[in-house]
Structures are given as structure tokens and as C-alpha cells.
Amino acid sequence: MDQFFGTDGIRGRVGEEPITADFFLKLGWAVGSVLAKEGAASVIIGKDTRVSGYLFESALEAGFLSAGVDVGLLGPMPTPAVAYLTQAYGATAGVVISASHNHFQDNGVKFFSSQGFKLSDKNQKEIEKKLSEPMVSVDSDHIGKARRHEQPLGRYIEFCKSTFDRSVDLSGLNIVIDCANGATYHIAQSVFSELGANITIINNQPDGFNINLDCGATDTKQLQQIVIEQKADLGIAFDGDGDRLMMVDSNGEPVDGDELVFIVAKAWYQQARLDNDTVVGTKMTNLGMRHALKDLGINFIEADVGDRFVMEQMQISGSILGGEGSGHMICLDKTTSGDGIISALQVLEVLAKSGKSLGVLKLEMEKYPQVLINVKTHGKVELDSHINLKKAQLEVEAELGDEGRVLIRASGTEPLIRVMVEGKNLVLVQQGADKLAKVLSS
């Protein structure tokens, strides 16, 4: 098992191991040393808007340079933008300093290969091994060089626009966009307004501390209110690093990742654009979505939770569409990672071509009630040997019967046990989730 890497890179509380300047210095050296084994190497580094990004950007930069790797600095940039720009700039790897949807007190790091995909397990194991060795800098005549790239924003904006059918007219749409005071703050308005939509932008004033604070994809209440007040057609919410998407219909009702993937999947299937007639989701994917896809004749593949596992199953199955209820949507024929902006554009394209509203399209899939409770833990909890939990789970599953299910798993990024119960009967679902959470907390 990896010591540092979780389901989505390395993440934790700033100032606590391993989210410290000295660790990031050594991490840059370790990653750089692994990359440099194959010859001359270069990396690009992007970051979101949290204040600690300055600290870790400098530490990583120094580590890479000490391993003889050249560094290109991008400044604030969405995670999917770094995936794209790694390829566009011909870099050996891309690095994002971000804790995604977490608040500013946390930070972390994600890595992309030269092809724009998340690093493989093999790469991560090599890096972990290198981290256990003493840090030794290359000779002074082999130290890397650093420079700041001048036009990364423009390149990424044009790339996003290129994934949209330009024959489609968005000029009749009034859209509210919530940037979560994160890495899309200086990009989203340009992309959507240049494609013709009428845009109201909120939470696009990052100060280093307000990223994901009561806003964005993880908290759409403010967006829902503003959509209703302004009588907008819909709202779009990104998370702090721009790889998640949530939307809000004209009635202020949230539309989650499962519903958005279904909307795109149905349209692409009907247009014969859905490769292998297959969609990839996760263990958390709503039962209602699974049943709706099956009714259409679309295959569903279940991956482990985490966009990198969704991506793995997409590559194995030859699927071009996958995602999670949390808002990651991967359109593999457009880009190599979950991208909130590009995903939103695909949904808007479906809306415009169908002539239907987001609210109407949402109703084409019956979403089963789902209750998710995060139970904080102190240290590791062995779920497999938790007798009382096993007993309670069997009791809840018996109550739900064939019209529901239970999923209990440890978070890969936070000290939490996630309890998920879903089914047609909301009362039974809520009671079951509360019962399991209580057992875990006792």
C-alpha cells in the first residue's frame, strides 16, 4: 500500500506531515529523479487559489531543479488545464498543487503523465521508493532551469471552446456560473461568454482563503438562490480546482454528476456517438441511473470510487463517457481528465440541440433517494472485522430488499468512513443510514 498517495494524489492539512515545505521539496526531487532516469525531463506546475500554493510551488520547483529537471510555471490553473497543457507544451509530466474541493486549510498535489493521464500505480511506487532514499542534488552543471509560461490561459480557453459544436447558438441562454473562488475564476466567463451565452459570474474573487467556502460544486445553495432571483435558465458550479461540475435548473433544483452523465449519455447514444454503447460509473452511482441506462440499452461498468479508477475502466472498455455523482465527468473523446468546463459545454450542447430545458432533461432519469453520512474517525477503522457494523448492515439490507443497497467505505483523501444508503423508500433509506452511522460512531 502506498504511504503517501491516496485515491487522488497526496492531500492533507497544511503544516502537518506530509503537507509541509520540506516534504514537497523532497517530493519534487523524487519525482524529478524518476523522470530524469529516461533522459532530459521537464515539468509544468499549476496551482489553485489557496494561499499555501505559493509555498508549495516554490518547494516543488526547488526539488525538481535539484533533480536536473526544467520547470515551467503556470500560476493559478484548473487541474484539467494542467492535464491538457502538459501535452500542449510537450512536458514530461504535469503537476497540480491543489486540495480540490477541500477548504484552504488543506492542500495537496496531483501528477499527470506526458499524455495527460494521472500517473500509474507503477510510477507512484517508484516515487514512494525514491522518497525513502536520501536527497542528493545533481551536479551544479546539471541543475534544471525555471521559467514562467506567458500564455497558458489563452491556450486553455481556446482548447475548451474547440470541444463545443460551434454551429450551436447559446445566445438565448442566461447562465449563472459559480467559480468557487478557485482556479476557474479567470477562465470560465471567457469560455462561456465567447460562445454567446449571457453570463452572471459569482465567487470569482479568490483571496487565498475563500476557496470552496460556502460555494461551488460542494455547496450550491447560493447558486440555487441566485438562479431563481435572476430567473436564469440554469446555473453551473465548479469546485476549487475545476475538475468537478454540478448544475442547477431554472427552478433552482440541483442536478448532480449522475444526472449530468445520463443526460449526455442518452443524447450521444441516440446520435450513435457513444462508443461501445457503454458508460462507466462507480460503486456510488445511483441505482436510478443504472436502471435508466439499462432501459435504453446502454451498458454500465462499475469502477472503484475515484476518477482515476473511472478512467482505468474507460480505457479498458473503450468507453468515452464516465463519471461520478460528485461531479467528475470524463469525456475521453474531448480530453484526458475530468474537466468541469468541458463537461458543462457538452451538457449545454445537448440542451441547445434538443430544445429542452435542463429541468426537463433531468426528469428523464428517476433518481433514487440516496443518503450519505460521513463519519469522522480517529485512526484506521477495520471495516471487515467490525462485527456490530456487519450485523447492522445485514439488518438494513433486509429492510430495503431488492429496491435499495448499502455501501460503506473509507475515504481515500480524508479521515472519514462514508456510509451510503439508497433505495426507493426515503424513510427506510434515512433510517438505515442513521443506524449505520450510529454504530460506527459508538
Query: Does position 340 have pLDDT exceeding 90, yes or no?
Result: yes
Query: Does position 6 have pLDDT exceeding 90, yes or no?
Result: no
Tell whether pTM > 0.75. Answer: yes
In the chain, pLDDT over 70 holds for what percent of residues?
98
pLDDT of residue 188: 98
Query: Does position 1 have pLDDT exceeding 60, yes or no?
Result: no
Query: Does position 307 have pLDDT exceeding 50, yes or no?
Result: yes
- State the Cα–Cα distance between residues 340 and 403, nearest whole angstrom: 32
What mean pLDDT comes out for the span 326-335?
96
- Between CA 18 and CA 27, with CA 23 as vertex, the angle to 5 degrees is 110
Query: Does position 317 have pLDDT exceeding 50, yes or no?
Result: yes
For 155-168, write each residue's pLDDT tens digit: 999 999 999 999 99
Q: What is the CA radius of gyration of the chain?
A: 22
pLDDT of residue 9: 83
Indicate the CATH number of 171-254 among 3.40.120.10, 2.70.98.10, 3.40.50.2020, 3.40.50.720.
Answer: 3.40.120.10
- State the Cα–Cα distance between residues 247 and 161, nearest whole angstrom: 19
- Is residue 407 within 8 A of residue 374, CB to CB? The reply is no
- Between CA 153 and CA 160, with CA 159 as vertex, the angle to 5 degrees is 90
- State the Cα–Cα distance between residues 279 and 329, nearest whole angstrom: 11
Annotated catalytic residue 317? no
Torsional class of 214: left (φ above 0), alpha (ψ -120 to 50), beta (otherwise): left
Catalytic residue among 66, 100, 113, 343: 100
Confidence category of residue 344, pLDDT binned at 50, 70, 90: very high
pLDDT of residue 377: 82
For 358-401, write each residue's pLDDT tens digit: 999 999 999 999 899 999 887 777 788 889 999 999 999 999 98
Strand partners, 71: 43, 146
Query: Residue 419's CB: how many other CB atoms inside 10 A?
Result: 26
Phi, then psi, of 211 in degrees rounded to 5: -60, 130
What mean pLDDT comes out for the span 185-190?
98
- Is residue 405 within 8 A of residue 346, CB to CB? The reply is no
Helix segments in 101-187, DSSP class H:
121-131, 152-162
Domains 257-341 and 370-441 share a fold: no
For 203-255, write each residue's pLDDT tens digit: 999 999 999 999 999 999 999 999 999 999 999 999 999 999 999 999 999 99
* CA–CA distances in Å: residue 19 to residues 4, 24, 25: 10, 7, 11
Strand partners, 299: 278
Query: Does position 70 have pLDDT exceeding 90, yes or no?
Result: yes
Give the type of residue at 375. Answer: V
Indicate the CATH number of 370-441 among 3.40.50.300, 3.30.310.50, 3.30.2130.10, 3.40.50.720.
Answer: 3.30.310.50
DSSP 359-371: HHHHTTS-PPPEE
* Mean pLDDT of the residues in the chain: 95
Q: Which fold has domain 10-150?
A: Alpha-D-Glucose-1,6-Bisphosphate; Chain A, domain 3 (3.40.120)
Q: Which fold has domain 257-341?
A: Alpha-D-Glucose-1,6-Bisphosphate; Chain A, domain 3 (3.40.120)
pLDDT of residue 413: 67
* Cα dihedral across residues 215, 217, 218, 220: positive or negative: positive
Query: Does position 11 have pLDDT exceeding 80, yes or no?
Result: yes
- State the Cα–Cα distance between residues 77 and 240, nearest whole angstrom: 10
In the chain, pLDDT over 90 holds for what percent of residues?
88
- Is residue 280 within 8 A of residue 139, CB to CB? The reply is no
Query: Does position 2 have pLDDT exceeding 70, yes or no?
Result: no
Domain limits of the chain? Answer: 10-150, 171-254, 257-341, 370-441
* Chain length of the chain: 442
For 414-424, write each residue's pLDDT tens digit: 789 999 999 98
* CA–CA distances in Å: residue 293 to residues 272, 277, 296, 349, 404: 15, 10, 5, 20, 17
Give the type of residue at 52. Answer: S
